[in-house]
A = this chain, B = another copy of it.
Amino acid sequence: MNHTELLKGTLSTIILRLLEEKGRMYGYEITQMVKEKSGETILIKEGSLYPALHKLEADGLIVSEEVFIGKRVRKYYNLTKPGKKATRTSVDELLAFMQTIHNLITSELNPAHGAA
């Protein structure tokens, strides 16, 4: 991630949202899709992704299914029912939060003098 700190708290939401949109996905696929959809600006590292996926699974929001592609294991993830609900909450909260921040940092500059 080039933005480093900024992503905090948004990664799980992004993962949930992609799973909602695409149905089953595996880890590496998620990193590639985020990379592509973000115009190469958001590059999720393995050290961030896998712990995040494991936590979502431990929380019962996603379930994994191991599939062998030749000799290579691939772990596909799907949303659970609670996961689908959590996705909506999570996405809505993030959008609301970003709107609030947007308002905070883009309000008019010094309206005191020279308001057009």
Contact = CB atoms under 8 A, between A and B. Distances in A.
A8 B9 CA distance: 7
Contacts of A41: 97, 100
A30 B42 CA distance: 31
Interface of A: 3-10, 13-14, 17-18, 20-21, 23, 34, 37-39, 41-42, 91, 93-95, 97-98, 100-107, 109-110
Copies per assembly:
2
A14 to B, nearest CB: 6
A51 to B, nearest CB: 14
Given A42-B100, A104-B34, A107-B37, A10 B21 contact: no
Given A6-B9, A8-B6, A9-B5, A21 B100 contact: no
